[in-house]
Amino acid sequence: MQAQASISWAINHMSAPELSIAAFCRLAAGLGAPAVELRNDLKAPADIGSVLPAEVRAATQATGVRLITINALYPFNDWNAERAEQARALATLAAAAGCEALVLVPRCDGTDTGEERHAKLREALRGLAPILAEAGLIGLVEPLGFAQCSLRLKSEAVAAISELGLGARFRLVHDTFHHTLAGEATIYPAQTGLIHISGVEDPTVAVADMLDAHRVLVGPRDRLGNIAQIRALLAAGADAPLSFEPFAPEVHGDPDIAAALAHSMQFITRELAREAA
């Protein structure tokens, strides 16, 4: 398998949250990444809600990158009138900005972790489906591996989507960090629409204690098994971009984030090629 030939890169704005959307798109284009993920949880001028959709389109068109997601609708699986309105507003913004999908993040505050989570997940998927369809968007469900999350396992998301017959409207985010924290061995390449990648290098932190602040770029000291996860997904036919999503302050403060991202891209490509040879 020529795994390296299968890589389609993307950059999540969390990689460089201080950059404006236009500057961030230029960063991605300069790295040869054909796609970007923008966010609605950053400060202006990085936050997609702080600029006009036309400005977003101008930035992506000027650089030739695709806007593949807005991250995120939260908590998507706590469905009520307020969440429906939030979803409609975000879907309208996404469509106007030329976006392809919305990332859907589950409640992660220690509530809704009992059996009621199954019914609430299905209720949310049923409510979201027509909103996404009207806007021409895909919903990317992202289970989080934290113990306090209401949706930790991809298997639960896959079961609900399949039961409701909504496989054409919803796909999964496979996040290498959260996959490790959840302890879920099974991958779902056919249902995966996006792969979030980040590494953890701190040798002192236990897996159960890993937090977003530990998430750096993927390199040779990574403890999450990113290369093994990526290799398995690509080998099984996953057709999804690899999108960098580091949260560590040291990454955000890197004065040459372009070089750091390029180095990580080269490392991943080299390691996958090594295994494929």
What domains can you pick out in the chain, each with its CATH number?
Answer: 3-276 (3.20.20.150)
Q: What pLDDT score was predicted for residue 277?
A: 61
- pTM, two decimal places: 0.96
Distance (Å, rounded) from C-alpha 275 to C-alpha 128? 40
Q: What pLDDT score was predicted for residue 2?
A: 40
**Angle of CA points 130, 238, 106, to nearest 5°:** 45
* Tokens coding 12: 């999540």
Q: What pLDDT score was predicted for residue 160?
A: 98
| Contact by Cβ (8 Å): 267, 242 | no
Q: Packing angle between helix 53-63 and helix 21-30, nearest 10 degrees?
A: 20
| Contact by Cβ (8 Å): 228, 274 | no
Q: What pLDDT score was predicted for residue 249?
A: 98
Q: What pLDDT score was predicted for residue 5?
A: 44
Which residues, in sequence order, are CB contacts of 125 under 8 Å at separation 6+?
A: 139, 160, 161, 164, 166, 170
Which residues partner with 216 through β-bridges?
199
From first to last of the 277 residues of the chain, give the pLDDT tens digit.
343 447 999 999 999 999 999 999 999 999 999 999 999 999 999 999 999 999 999 999 999 999 999 999 999 999 999 999 999 999 999 999 999 999 999 999 999 889 999 999 999 999 999 999 999 999 999 999 999 999 999 999 999 999 999 999 999 999 999 999 999 999 999 999 999 999 999 999 999 999 999 999 999 999 999 999 999 999 999 999 999 999 999 999 999 999 999 999 999 999 999 866 6
Which residues, in sequence order, are CB contacts of 225 under 8 Å at separation 6+?
A: 176, 180
Distances (CA, A) of 62 to 25, 56, 58, 69: 9, 10, 6, 18
